[in-house]
Amino acid sequence: MFFGHQDAPFRLPRQASRGRGGSAGPRYNARMLGLVFSTIAFFVAAYFIKRYLDEIGVPKTAVRGLVVFVLALAVAYGVAFTVDWAVGLAG
């Protein structure tokens, strides 16, 4: 009798039954768009910053890695802000 609960009817949790029907609100979509664009911008900026620092001969140290991270993060924040601002203008 270890399997007595197999005959119980299946019921969805309350949150699952109250779904949005596959379409999210425009504010949620804007946040996701900002997240996607800023993530892409972070990696692209990090690549080009590393390449530039290699070009000018900066040695590979922990400080250089921190500089690349901070500058790429600033670019990503700027992109996220710009996307949020553009979505605000659109409505």
Asked if residue 9 belongs to a domain, the reply is: no
- By percentage, how much of the chain surpasses pLDDT 70? 74
Q: What pLDDT score was predicted for residue 5?
A: 59
Asked if residue 10 belongs to a domain, the reply is: no
Going by pLDDT thresholds of 50, 70 and 90, the confidence category of residue 52 is: very high
Asked if residue 33 belongs to a domain, the reply is: yes
Domain that holds residue 74: 25-90
Q: What pLDDT score was predicted for residue 30?
A: 82
Question: What is the C-alpha to C-alpha distance for residues 58 and 67, in angstroms, rounded to an integer?
Answer: 11
Q: How many domains does the chain have?
A: 1
Question: What is the C-alpha to C-alpha distance for residues 40 and 60, in angstroms, rounded to an integer?
Answer: 24
Asked if residue 1 belongs to a domain, the reply is: no
